[in-house]
Structure 1
Amino acid sequence: MASSLLSVYRFLPSQKKDNVGYVTKIKTSLYGQALCNPNSVRRQIATRHGSRLAVSSLFGRRVKSRRETVIPDPDYRIPIVLLGITGGLVYTNNLGPAIPVGLLGLLLLVQTTRVRFVFDDEALEVKVGDELKQSGENVFVGGKNRWKYSTFVNWEFWWPNFPILVYFKETQTKPEGQIHFFPIIFNGKQLYDAMVERAGLSQNSGPKDS
């Protein structure tokens, strides 16, 4: 009888020891601690912004969290440059070209204050205002202004050192591919980093600085 009690005692958790036999740190959940083996649960936290958090479960499966939403800051350089050119044309009495350049500058100035590129976990979407309202259908090709990264064929910046336009081609709108051009009225570096992270590298070299 005494030897049987001793055998049972060998596998019971001790209040003074953390490791007894095959039982590792077993404590009641009433004290706020979960039953776990520290060697079976590992957390890998990537330091790069927007990376995924992966947790290896007790059965070796991976659970991936959603990526953080990225919204590049507005950048007023292009409309300011256009309005500056307009002022120079007016000063030199070149009213003909000054009018369209000035109108374009004013349009981009307004759009910079209201249009936002929103990079969520699975798609790029164009939204409007600080409240991020829906932008409606695309006036040129139809459909919602939201495109999944998985449908991107390619994308590019023109020109890298002072980005003016961003181009991308996707197969979501139509199977043969739909091309889109947008003026870069956002922070070029933030926009480039978000495109690389979510849509992959472009076919040509990207900007060094912007």
Structure 2
Amino acid sequence: MKTNNPSEVVELSPSYRIPLFLIAGACALALVSLWLAGVCALLGLFLTIQTILIRLQFTDEALNVLRSGKVILSFPYSEWLNWEIFWSPIPILFYFREVNSIHFLPIIFDSKTLLDCLNKYYPRERKLYS
């Protein structure tokens, strides 16, 4: 986790857990089906590249998506309706819904910090009364 000012900006650290799992799974799948292994390996490679390039940054007002250090998307909390992290034992997918759209992101960043930031910037109690 990288912070410029702890009360203003939190940038999530990358996590290569899912991409590496997919690449390892592709090696195992190669014994069964080369086609399936190729698809799994390509997805793992794609997520590895995204893990290198993409960062999530929480500010007091919005969740920002950065690519190579530049903000490419911003999602103000005022437009959020709901969020969820799927599969608690090993978090693999982050979902959040805004007024006009739904977003799914693979968890290619520190999942504990993600959950801490979600609870800080858009807590569950807030969702119930929005």
Q: TM-score, normalised by structure 1?
A: 0.55
* 1:115-163 CA distance string (max 9 Å, x none): 000111200010012xx2132xxxxxxxxx2111122111000111211
Q: Which residue of 1 aligns with 2:28?
A: 88
The residue aligned with 2:122 is 199
Q: Which has the higher contact order (CA 8 A, sep 6+)?
A: 2
Instruction: Please state whether the residue corresponding to 2:48 is helix, strand or coil.
Output: helix
SS in 2 for 1:70: strand
Matches within 5 A, 1:1-210: 50=6, 67-90=7-30, 92-129=31-68, 132-135=69-72, 145-171=73-99, 174=100, 178-201=101-124
Q: CA RMSD in A?
A: 1.7
Q: Offset at 1:68? A: 2.1
Identity %, equivalent residues: 39
- What's the counterpart of residue 28 of structure 1? none
CA distance, structure 2, for counterparts of residue 112 and residue 82 of structure 1: 13
One-letter identity of the residue aligned with 1:167: Y
Q: Distance in 1 between matches of 2:56 and 2:32?
A: 38
Gap runs ≥5 in structure 2:
none
Structure whose alpha-carbon radius of gyration is higher: 1
- Which runs of 4 or more aligned residues in structure 1 lie more than 3 Å from their structure 2 counterparts after TM superposition? none
Alignment partners' CA distance in 2, 1:103 and 1:128: 20
Inter-partner Cα distance in structure 1 for 2:9 and 2:32 = 47
**Structure holding more helix per residue:** 2
Structure with higher strand content: 2
2:62 and 2:119 map into 1 onto residues whose CA distance is 13
CA deviation string 1:27-66 (max 9, x = no partner): xxxxxxxxxxxxxxxxxxxxxx94xxxxxxxxxxxxxxxx
Unmatched tracts of structure 1, length 5 or more: 1-48, 51-66, 136-144, 204-210
SS of the counterpart of 1:186?
coil
Q: Distance in 2 between matches of 1:201 and 1:75?
A: 25
Deviation at 1:93, TM superposition (A): 4.7
